[in-house]
Amino acid sequence: MPIWCPNCGAMLAEGTRECPRCGKKLAASDEVEEFGATEILRLSFYALKYLLLPVLLVVLVTAGCYFVFFAR
């Protein structure tokens, strides 16, 4: 299961003592955030929503332009 830096959110390998991105030293007592399958799935749907929305908008605008200019 991936673990994440509490300072910058970078993904860390297990047993890492220092974040490679921000340089924060992690002590054994530091709480490192762990994401489970449900959190990863929720974040995936969130990212997918913002990826598919512009694509769908381009398809609709393209189809609209086709019908306005070429389907006479």
Task: With a cut of 90, say whether residue 59 has pLDDT above it.
Answer: yes
Total count of domains within the chain: 1
pLDDT: is 4 or 57 the higher one?
A: 57
Task: With a cut of 70, say whether residue 2 has pLDDT above it.
Answer: no
Mean pLDDT of the chain: 81
- For the chain, list the strands marked E by DSSP: 3-4, 11-12, 33-34
Q: How many CA atoms lie within 13 A of 69 on its CB side?
A: 6
The parent domain of residue 43 ranges over 3-69
